[in-house]
Amino acid sequence: MTSFTAACIQLRSGKTISDNADAAESLIRAATKDGAQFVQTPEMSNVLVRSRQELQERISDAEDDLFLKRARALAADLGIYLHLGSLAVLAGNGKIANRAFLIEPDGNILAVYDKIHMFDVDLPNGESWRESATYEPGTQTVIADLPFAKVGMAVCYDIRFPAIFRTQARVGAQVLTAPAAFTRQTGEAHWHVLQRARAIENGAFVISAAQGGTHEDGRETYGHSLIVDPWGSVIAELDHDEPGYVLAEIDTEAVAKARQRIPAIANERGFSCTLREPAGEMPA
């Protein structure tokens, strides 16, 4: 089996986990009815709360998370692979994990990934983010071996760090993922080019569900959930920031063809870097 139908679910998650689970379930059921076999939700599907204290009060350990429990039951009910782009769950050390889950059609959890790169930035419009103050970063990249594809797992800001995706591609990943809650400002500037670049340089599909719109905690996210093919073409996009879903047919034979046409992974070589500094002052 080399082909399957993938769906991106676009959400506008708020502060109440049960409400977010209701919204996600409705869209997941609709996408599955349209033929989706692999369904992905965005980063922080279960809750978006900017206040660290309030977030900790609302979430729980993974095994007790309401969103995850409902997602596992839903995957089993629909018989789909369900990729929760990430959930906020307690990490057990005073911090929180930004954790992705890939659930099998029987409801069991096949793979878990903790976001590695923390979004610690000061944006020109005055927005300031310090994810490292709240979240415990992961240390290991993860690939899930599904019947129709090997799927690499990543989250949002990871998309700006190509080494994760190249490492996954080197060991066989045909589908790369970057479910996100991109800010509107960075999304407008970089969302599409980053997704397409990761697809092109690795000859892989990229599937990235997104949060979109103005959220209950005041943040604005970009939306534009999309799927990119191994040649860098956007083959499906939800071209707005409203909740919804988008589907595309994924044929992994296209990965082999792209990597044969441009064998960047096979041609890659190791190298060193030398910094040359002037021996003295430049002549006047």
Catalytic residue, chosen from 104, 115, 136, 150, is 115
Is 105 exposed, middle or buried, given 0-12, 13-18 or 19+ CB atoms closer than 10 A? middle
Catalytic residue, chosen from 104, 136, 150, 156, is 156
- For residues 58 and 90, is the Cβ–Cβ distance under 8 A? no
Query: Which residue from 63, 66, 31 is spatially nearest to 45, judged by alpha carbons?
Result: 66
Examine the residue annotation and report whether 150 is marked as an active-site residue of this protein.
no
Strand order in the sheet with 96-103: 109-114, 96-103, 81-90, 38-40, 3-10, 244-251
Distance of CA 75 to the CA centre of its chain: 19
| Helical ranges in the chain per DSSP H | 17-33, 52-58, 66-78, 162-170, 184-202, 253-261, 264-267
Examine the residue annotation and report whether 201 is marked as an active-site residue of this protein.
no
- For residues 169 and 111, is the Cβ–Cβ distance under 8 A? no
Q: ∠ CA(181), CA(186), CA(188), 5° rounding?
A: 100
Catalytic residue, chosen from 43, 104, 136, 150, is 43
Question: Helix 162-170 to helix 184-202 angle, to the nearest 10 degrees?
Answer: 30
Examine the residue annotation and report whether 115 is marked as an active-site residue of this protein.
yes
Catalytic residues: 43, 115, 156
